[in-house]
Amino acid sequence: MNYFVIGDPVEHSVSPQIHNTIFEYYDSPEKYEKVHVKKDDIKVLVEKFRQEGRGFNITVPHKSNIIPYLDGISEEARLVNAVNTVVKKSGLLMGYNTDIEGFAMQVSHAGCRLQGARVKIIGAGGAARAIAYSAFKHGARIITIYNRTISKAEDITNMLSVANIEETTNCQLYAKVLSDFDAGFCDILVNATSVGLGKGHEEEMPIESLEGILPHTVLFDIIYEPSQTRLMREAVKYGNRTCNGLDMLIYQGVIANDIWCGFGAAKNQELIAEIRRKLLVRKVLL
């Protein structure tokens, strides 16, 4: 068990497809698996990993639960309070958050720029925290976080206001209650809630309407199944460009693999296209 992902549940994870495609591409004999782990069993798993593992990913709900068992975590992961990638370095377990750069790479791949952008984020959970940090780190000009529970949006703006990143000294940060949502005046709009995910919930949206959205605003939804959420369909009706969460998922994976193996997967567009193709084929087969 050298490489794997832990979660509860974990059955839905497509990380094995991502990493096994990378290993095959680089002719590596490694295999990547899914391991279902409950919170109380994380400690035992980590001890076993110390003996024989090389690297692992963490998915919901353990991205924060894993932190006490590690020897060190990156400053970004500490601020975001979430680790999704662990690597063994000189016998020590180090934690990273590759969702942060995964989001930035997705935005750049979509032909958008976070630098100087006005970014609105719907939701203030774990995913929103990493995305807000990413926007902040990459020089967004204004970040507004909307959430039903405003205190969670404020937690994120407070976290960013103490983050010490050079390019972002001029970023304006706002936390607002979701009922005050207004789709206007932004370049990048992100749905970082899970509203619209899962069977029977496809017709749900976290907000009532996208009225007032500017023509050039690009909507990013973190959901990738369904591949087009109702919110994305609404944006298309207004003529706006949309992206689902598949690319963010792929990018966080290739960055994690580079931390472990250093193949250069995150820069390999041919490989990234191959991973995307395999994930889309898998979906058609389901």
Supply the residues annotated as catalytic.
63
34-63: b or e for each residue (b if 16 or more CB lie within 10 Å)? bbebeeeebeebbeebeeebebbbbbbebb
Instruction: Note whether 55 binds ligand ATR by CB under 6 A.
Output: no
| Window of 22-30, 73-81, 125-133, 275-283 that interacts with ligand ATR by CB under 6 A | 125-133
Touching ligand ATR, residues 175-194 (CB under 6 A): 178, 193-194
Instruction: Note whether 225 binds ligand ATR by CB under 6 A.
Output: no
Instruction: Note whether 16 binds ligand ATR by CB under 6 A.
Output: no
Give the separation between CA 263 and CA 144, rounded to whole angstroms: 37
Region label for 196, one of left (φ > 0), alpha (ψ between -120 and 50) or beta (otherwise) = left
Touching ligand ATR, residues 84-123 (CB under 6 A): 123
Touching ligand ATR, residues 57-76 (CB under 6 A): 60
Number of other CB atoms surrounding residue 148 within 10 Å: 14
Among 53, 126, 196, 245, binds ligand ATR (CB under 6 A): 126
Query: The tokens of 73 are what?
Result: 């975590």
Instruction: Note whether 149 binds ligand ATR by CB under 6 A.
Output: yes
Q: Position of tokens 């935005």? A: 107
Give the separation between CA 21 and CA 230, rounded to whole angstroms: 31
Among 50, 148, 176, 276, binds ligand ATR (CB under 6 A): 148
Name the residue with the smallest CB distance to ligand ATR: 125
Site for ligand ATR, rule CB under 6 A: 60, 123-128, 147-149, 152, 178, 193-195, 206
